[in-house]
Amino acid sequence: MTDPAIHKYSYFPGCSLATTAKENNASMVAFCRKIGVELVELEDWNCCGSSSAHSIDSELAAALPARNLSLAPEGRPLLVACPSCLLRLRQAQLHLLQNKDQQQWYQGTFDRPVDTQLEILHFFELLERLDISDVMPDAFERLKGLRFAPYYGCMLARPPELRHEKNYYGLMEKVLTSLGASPVHWRFASRCCGTFLSVVRPDVVTPMVNSIVDGARQAGAECVITACAMCHLNLEVRCRLPDSVPILHFSEALSLALGTAESDGWFSRHLVDPRPMLEQRGLLHSNG
């Protein structure tokens, strides 16, 4: 039985999706709307602290995500688009639940008790709950023949205290295969992209990114598909290979399967233009 009611989720895009990866954000929201999931952006959300807060100021690393948790309306799951933000928000929630002093501080600061029921979930978890053939009935085989390298980077690795949570390794392969695409087998699916060292130590990150993209190409992939905006950016800006392959956001690939992808707003923002490849594959028409 299909429930016609729209599922509402609170939505935390995070700084990358709000700025450098707007195409990731737009394709995520568009895809969700199309499958009957309404994302309600968390009002006035702030940065989760990124890599920098936990690196040099643990106190802030707890406080910044806490404010975001305090903004989430009760009784509605919070969907987080960025894997790093997700980790920060979940870790902050865990520490709040474990620590009475922290709970008191939270209540005093945000004037509400810690919502012990708040469910924080990643886009992967949302997808796993759905039956793809049910929510995307027309998309079957739409991506036929697209050879992709699934790239998770470090998003599936977690600190030991979050180890008990379910793992989603292979999810992109599962979903995209059911839409007709073919994953390649390759070495670098869960090799870290270098994150912020891309700015500070390009000498370290460039060879890493080159070997990742080259690995995808050597394995026969026409594109790399990422589920993290940071990975996407690093693979695009740090690759120095003369013949790179396009890097697609997972949400863009899903939208391509639904036939709702926007050539101009999304793919025009890529540093390695995926449009020729997509047009050749019949996945995109030149008029957008």
Partner 1 sequence: MHDTSSKTIVLSGSHNKFGEQVLKRAGTNFNRCLHCQSCASGCPFTGAMDYLPNRIIRLVQFGQIQPALESATIWACVACNTCSIQCPMAIDIPGVMDALRQMAIENGHQIAEPDVLNFHREVLNTIERYGRTHKLEIMLRYKIKKRDWFTDLNVGLKMLAKRKLDLTPSRVSDIGRIRQLFKKSSKDA
Confirm if 216 and 245 have CB atoms less than 8 A apart: yes
Q: Coil, strand, or helix at residue 253? A: helix
- Within residues 60-119, the interface with partner 1 by CB under 8 A covers 60, 63-64, 67, 109
**Tokens representing residue 117 in the block:** 């029921």
- Which region among 34-42, 46-54, 128-136, 171-179 touches partner 1 (by CB under 8 A)? 46-54
**Tokens representing residue 10 in the block:** 């609170």
Among 7, 8, 47, 147, binds partner 1 (CB under 8 A): 47
Confirm if 109 and 82 have CB atoms less than 8 A apart: no
* Pick 35 or 63: Cβ nearer partner 1: 63
Tell the residue number behind the tokens 């957008």, with chain if given.
Answer: 288
Among 121, 126, 135, 157, binds partner 1 (CB under 8 A): 157
Site map (CB under 8 A) of partner 1, residues 220-249, x = contact: -------------x---x------------
Exposure b/e, 131-161, CB count within 10 A at least 16 = b: ebeebbeebeebbeebbbbbbbbbbbebeee
* Pick 205 or 254: Cβ nearer partner 1: 205
* Pick 130 or 157: Cβ nearer partner 1: 157
- Within residues 183-202, the interface with partner 1 by CB under 8 A covers 190-192, 194-197, 199-202
Can residue 57 be called a binding residue for partner 1 (CB under 8 A)?
yes
* Pick 84 or 255: Cβ nearer partner 1: 84
> Alpha-carbon distance 169 to 54, whole Å?
26
- Which region among 28-36, 216-224, 242-250, 263-271 touches partner 1 (by CB under 8 A)? 263-271
Check residue 82 and report its DSSP letter.
-
* Pick 176 or 231: Cβ nearer partner 1: 231
The residue type found at 77 is P
Start-end of H helices in the chain: 14-18, 22-34, 50-56, 58-71, 83-98, 100-110, 123-129, 132-135, 171-178, 197-200, 202-218, 229-237, 250-258, 275-280
Among 6, 97, 204, 241, binds partner 1 (CB under 8 A): 204
* Pick 35 or 156: Cβ nearer partner 1: 156
Beta pairing, strands 78-80 & 7-12: parallel
> Alpha-carbon distance 91 to 197, whole Å?
23
- Which region among 55-63, 175-183, 251-259, 275-283 touches partner 1 (by CB under 8 A)? 55-63
* Pick 176 or 246: Cβ nearer partner 1: 246
Residues that bind partner 1 (CB under 8 A): 15, 18-22, 44-47, 49-60, 63-64, 67, 109, 153-154, 156-161, 163, 190-192, 194-197, 199-202, 204, 208, 233, 237, 268-271
